[in-house]
């Protein structure tokens, strides 16, 4: 896919460049590539237009801010990614036929392109989905305690070059010959027909004489979008979180379904946490003091009484999950582990114990 050139690269300035620096770079480059100095050189003419376009956006604080926001979403991935490549390096464009695409007098309309990207304009004829769903698996601890989980999604965004129309600059737009402007075509026969979006105009009802070079006429670009999902403490398995206006093209909502990875130590029962602690035979018989870690990594000393059974639960109040002002408890479940092999001496000791305790074996 042809990439929209990066305005900072066009002017050969850093993304942190001050307005003065931008103006200086623009003046130097504009002089160098001015059509008067490069007669009959379509490449220079195109370069000159690019320089003007970049300057028009970057020298205007408001436009630059919007551009920077889009740039972070990867909409203008230049050669070598952000900040990479040299000034003027381009990809996927060039050649005399391209030089007609940019009209300097039209640059004032950039604001409109940006506003349509940010959803202040109508969505056009296409029916937009109200919401998009995705799933994420989060660690047990994040689910219990809450936190932020970053997710990366490839999502369609409105093409910044054509503002979603799919038309190249200066192209004429005419009624789609396939659907005659209806935007839908019907399939099927014998009294059974299904309407589907027209494959030629993608439901728009119109086709441009020349397609937008950035999006190849689709009106949208898939960009990698990184979204931080705020996980509320105590979120349940299969919970669905709604992120307002984080869906495709910044309009619909994004639904994130949560899955919780199991933990090595803890499991959940409502707001209570159950942690399994292994204890040995002597600890179970004679009692002991054991250190256990709570979910938030605090150490608690737990007294195990003599005669503790396998599977017995001990409550540590207030160390469960906190949700909506309520707080669960933590339980420690003892798992008695037995030695697998005894030496002759140990066997004698156990036999002598069994006889004293009246245990048959």
- Residue ranges in contact with Zn ion by CB under 5 A: 159, 161-162, 176, 178-179, 198, 200-201, 212, 214-215
Residue 112 CB, nearest approach to Zn ion (Å): 14
Residue 35 CB, shortest distance to Zn ion, in Å, is 26
In angstroms, give the least distance from the CB of 205 to Zn ion: 6
Looking at beta carbons only, is 4 or 283 nearer to Zn ion?
4
Q: Measured between alpha carbons, how far is 58 from 112 in angstroms, rounded to an integer?
A: 16
Q: ∠ CA 99-103-105 to the nearest 5 degrees?
A: 160
- Overall size of the chain counted in residues: 361
Nearer to Zn ion, 201 or 304 (CB): 201
For residue 251, is it left (φ>0), alpha (ψ between -120 and 50) or beta? alpha
d(CA 102, CA 9): 18
CB of 75 to Zn ion, least distance (A): 11
Give, in order, the Cα–Cα distances in Å from 244 to each of 132, 134, 161, 248, 293: 11, 14, 26, 11, 37
| Contact (Cβ atoms closer than 8 angstroms) between residue 205 and residue 181 | yes
Query: CB under 8 Å to 139, separation ≥6 — which residues?
Result: 260, 261, 263
Residue 136 CB neighbours (<10 A): 16
Among residues 11 and 176, whose Cβ is nearest to Zn ion? 176
Residue whose structure tokens are 């931080």: 228
By beta-carbon proximity to Zn ion, the closer residue of 201 and 243 is 201
- Distance of alpha carbon 330 from alpha carbon 323, whole angstroms: 14
Alpha-carbon dihedral sign for residues 101, 220, 150, 69: positive
DSSP tag of 268: E
Shorter beta-carbon distance to Zn ion: residue 53 or 332: 53
Whose Cβ is closer to Zn ion: residue 9's or residue 161's?
Answer: 161
Q: How far is the CB of 93 from Zn ion (least distance, A)?
A: 13
For Zn ion, which is the closer residue by CB, 23 or 93? Answer: 93
- Closest separation in Å from C-beta 169 to Zn ion: 10
Return phi, psi of residue 85, to 5°. Answer: 75, 165
């Amino acid at each position: 896919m042809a990439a929209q050139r990066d305005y900072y690269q066009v002017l050969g300035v850093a993304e942190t460049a001050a307005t003065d620096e931008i103006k200086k770079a623009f003046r130097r480059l504009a002089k160098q590539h001015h059509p008067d100095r490069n007669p009959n050189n379509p490449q220079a003419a195109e370069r000159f237009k690019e320089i003007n376009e970049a300057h028009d956006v970057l020298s205007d604080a408001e436009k630059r801010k919007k551009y920077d926001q889009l740039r972070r979403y990867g909409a203008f991935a230049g050669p070598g990614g952000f900040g990479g490549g040299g000034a003027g390096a381009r990809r996927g464009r060039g050649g005399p036929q391209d030089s007609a695409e940019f009209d300097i007098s039209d640059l004032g309309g950039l604001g409109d392109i940006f506003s349509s990207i940010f959803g202040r304009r109508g969505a056009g004829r296409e029916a937009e989905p109200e919401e998009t769903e995705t799933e994420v698996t989060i660690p047990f601890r994040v689910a219990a305690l809450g936190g932020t989980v970053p997710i990366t999604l490839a999502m369609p965004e409105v093409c910044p070059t054509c503002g979603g129309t799919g038309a190249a600059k200066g192209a004429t737009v005419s009624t789609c010959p396939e659907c005659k402007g209806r935007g839908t075509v019907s399939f099927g026969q014998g009294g059974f027909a299904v309407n589907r979006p027209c494959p030629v105009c993608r439901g728009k009802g119109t086709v441009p004489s020349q397609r937008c070079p950035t999006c190849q006429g689709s009106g949208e670009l898939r960009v990698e979008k990184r979204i931080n999902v705020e996980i509320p403490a105590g979120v349940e398995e299969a919970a669905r979180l709604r992120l307002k206006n984080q869906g495709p093209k910044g309009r619909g909502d994004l639904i994130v379904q949560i899955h919780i990875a199991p933990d090595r130590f803890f499991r959940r029962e409502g707001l209570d946490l159950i942690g399994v602690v292994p204890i040995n035979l002597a600890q179970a018989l004679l009692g002991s003091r054991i250190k256990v870690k709570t979910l938030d990594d605090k150490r608690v000393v737990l007294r195990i009484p003599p005669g503790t059974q396998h599977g017995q639960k001990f409550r540590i109040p207030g160390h469960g999950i906190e949700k909506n002002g309520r707080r669960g408890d933590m339980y420690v479940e003892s798992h008695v582990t037995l030695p697998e092999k005894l030496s002759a001496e140990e066997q004698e000791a156990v036999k002598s114990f069994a006889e004293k305790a009246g245990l048959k074996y």
